[in-house]
């Protein structure tokens, strides 16, 4: 083999090696860019649920006890409050209220209590659909109204 062909062979081998390493570098660089973009997207996603660092912790409100008290006071067979007091609070008679609760929960699953949902149908329906003082029901249940 002459010197010319030997040099050409060496240069061709080095060119092949360099093109392979450039391809590897390109793949690594593209992967790094994709991962960096995904990391940016993850940082901008809002976090839902629970207390956030630097915020006040969630207060223990004992929602279930509030619901049980509401049912005992207004909806049980031996209610604490009379029909007149019920009307003063809810602006309607108890049978009409119960019919509305039944019809709304049958029509819309939003008002059916689900796992990890804090309010029962008697609690959520007045705040959404009935013409009553929502602050009174919030005070009764020790719940803060949502600020929109």
Specify the number of domains making up the chain: 2
Is 148 a member of any domain?
no
| 57 found inside a domain | no
Place of tokens 């009935």: 130
Helix axis angle for 94-107 and 83-90, nearest 10°, is 50
Claim to verify: residue 84 and residue 17 sit in the same structural domain = no
State the DSSP string of the chain. Answer: --HHHHHHHHHHHHHHHHHHHHHHHHHHHHHHHHHHHHHHHHHHSPP-SSPPTTSPPPP---HHHHHHHHIIIIISSS-SS-HHHHHHHHSS-HHHHHHHHHHHHHH-GGGS--TT----HHHHHHHHHSSS-HHHHHHHHT-PPPP-
Per-residue pLDDT of the chain (148 residues; tens, 9 = 90+): 576 777 777 777 777 776 766 677 776 777 777 777 777 766 655 555 556 676 777 677 777 788 788 888 888 888 888 888 888 887 888 888 888 878 887 887 776 666 555 555 555 555 555 555 555 555 655 555 555 4
d(CA 25, CA 45): 31
Is residue 54 one of the residues assigned to a domain? no
The reported pLDDT for the residue numbered 134 is: 54
38 and 84 share a domain?
no
74 and 32 within one domain: no
- The answer to whether position 35 is within a domain reads yes
**Is 41 in contact with 35 (CB distance < 8 Å)?**
no
In a domain, 91, yes or no: yes
Q: What is the pLDDT of residue 70?
A: 82
67-102, pLDDT tens digit by residue?
788 888 888 888 888 888 888 887 888 888 888 878
Q: Is residue 3 located within the same domain as residue 70?
A: no
Write down the pLDDT at residue 125.
56
* Parent domain of 28: 1-47
For residue 127, being part of any structural domain is answered with yes
- pLDDT at position 141 is 57
Same domain membership, residue 67 and residue 43: no
Q: Is 106 exposed, middle or buried (0-12, 13-18, 19+ CB in 10 A)?
A: exposed
How many whole angstroms separate alpha carbon 129 and alpha carbon 131?
A: 7
Residue 52 belongs to some domain of the structure: no
């Amino acid at each position: 083999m002459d010197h010319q062909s030997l040099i050409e062979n060496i240069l061709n081998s080095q060119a092949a090696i360099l093109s392979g390493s450039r391809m590897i570098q390109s793949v690594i660089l593209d992967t790094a860019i994709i991962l960096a973009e995904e990391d940016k997207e993850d940082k901008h996603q809002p976090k839902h649920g629970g207390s956030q660092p630097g915020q006040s912790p969630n207060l223990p409100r004992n929602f279930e006890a509030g619901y049980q008290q509401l049912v005992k006071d207004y909806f049980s067979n031996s209610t604490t409050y009379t029909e007149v007091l019920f009307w003063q609070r809810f602006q309607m008679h108890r049978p009409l209220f119960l019919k509305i609760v039944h019809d709304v929960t049958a029509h819309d699953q939003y008002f059916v209590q689900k796992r990890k949902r804090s309010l029962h149908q008697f609690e959520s329906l007045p705040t959404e659909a009935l013409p009553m003082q929502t602050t009174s029901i919030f005070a009764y249940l020790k719940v803060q109204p949502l600020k929109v």
